[in-house]
Chain A
Amino acid sequence: MTLTAETFDFVAALVRTRSAIQLERGKEYLVESRLAPLARSAGAIDVDAYVRGMRADVTKHDIVVEALTTNETSWFRDLNPFTVLRSTVIPDLYARGRGSLRIWSAACSTGQEAYSIAMIIADNFPSVRSNIVATDLADGVLEKGRSGRYTQLEINRGLPAPMLVKHFERQGPSFEISSQMRSQVVFRKHNLLDSPPAGGPYDIVFLRNVLIYFDVATKRDVLKRVRGAMAPGGYLFLGAAETTLGVDESWERMQLGASSVYRPRERSVG
């Protein structure tokens, strides 16, 4: 590992203040691999040199934070949450009179999760209207999400072929999602430590594979904000390795098939 402790500490502190994401020692490889392309394109000899050069240049800080907070993403990631969404969550909300659903895809990255939800609704619940707000910290991913254009490699990752032919069109080397799907999703820049984005209260929130990066106090803070943005009887989806248990007891865990979902507890009376 060529990265110096000084470089790592600076980057970790920068990322922590900008995004609340905790980069522990031992994540040097992550910093190195994510920043190497930036260093190369800036003509720096290595990541240390690149970081030394950009420390004083505040305009570069965003790019570094962005490079480190952009998550891996795919269509229907982990599958189970989307199965449960279709089999249980949306039918339940619909039965309770929610014909128009407000949905928040938090830390949405390049939009695959938000569009996966939109496709499930379009294909299975034609009479349900949906407004999906997709938020992320990074401008680059939001822009890509809005464009709805994905490379062949990105399309390969988890998108069922029948959905590909139904909802996408080939545009040169990439595939573009239909304008109908794009009209269901609004992309907005948002930090999870700020007030929840306008568009709520939300019936469904996807906050997947985000909390794992935070310390307990920050997890609690984020969950509290999310709870404040939920409609009564709403559903929260977390990543498979994440839970509210032991962090924020105002959520009730429900086991649905192979997936857990969380719902805000009703306030106890008296």
Chain B
Amino acid sequence: MNATTNAARAGARRGWIEFRNSMRAPEDVVYYVIGAAVFVAVMWFNRDNDVDGAGISSALLIFPGVLAFNTMFAASYGLATAVATEREDGTLLRAKSVPHGMRGYVVGQTTRVTLEVVFSLLLVTVPATLLVPGLWGSAGAGGLALMVAVLLLGLVACVPIGFAVGSVFRSPRAVGGWGMLVIAGLVFVSGVFFPISVIPGWAQVVGQLTPMYWMGLGLRQALLPDSVVAIEIGESWRTLEMFGVLGLWAAVGAVLAPVLLRRMARRESGSVVQAGREKQLQRV
């Protein structure tokens, strides 16, 4: 086996070990469960609350948005935080000190995030299926296939964003503060939790630049009755544009993220990590 394949395989195992470690850590499990519980509760309270002009309950409209949000949150924000943390604690430098270690690291993080997304989606989907009536009522086999395709492409679009953001910031605290603001803004402009028509025109324009909007749109198309298209922009599912924009994000990310990661990795050294650590201790 050649060295790059070998490193990718080691990375995949690494991702699995990290995910398993996370599942064994009570603090992580509590975090996932509370996150899922909040979304399921919101859907449950809105199970009889109808959306104007769509002919469905708010719960049903929110559900595809929750899937899109969870995927984006774990793959971009969560991953960026993890990369910044591991840059600070020396994990990245360790990866750099072994042959093809950075490749293993990237494959590892991608594997871990994928498992995390699947897990967090199941954690919402299973209770929601039991508690929200008619959740899967409109999604046929074609709808389910479209859902899987949109989630996969969305993941591929969001993971490079996570790597890129994580490699730009020096510490997880820097990612955390600004990141949360950005996430809140994204939730607003991308209309994943309410009809896009209720937000101002400029926000709709910004929203349509984000992968989250298009994931939400694609997932609504997959899971909701066709009549809901009436509340979408242009009263169309815009399937081609949806795949196009997500594909573009994925392509740009696939080109840009390795460049940023390499730039970041080049700068790592023992004294840089040590300096970061001392700075952190001073602040605390």
Query: A and B: partners?
Result: no
**Chain A interface residues toward B at CB < 8 A:** none
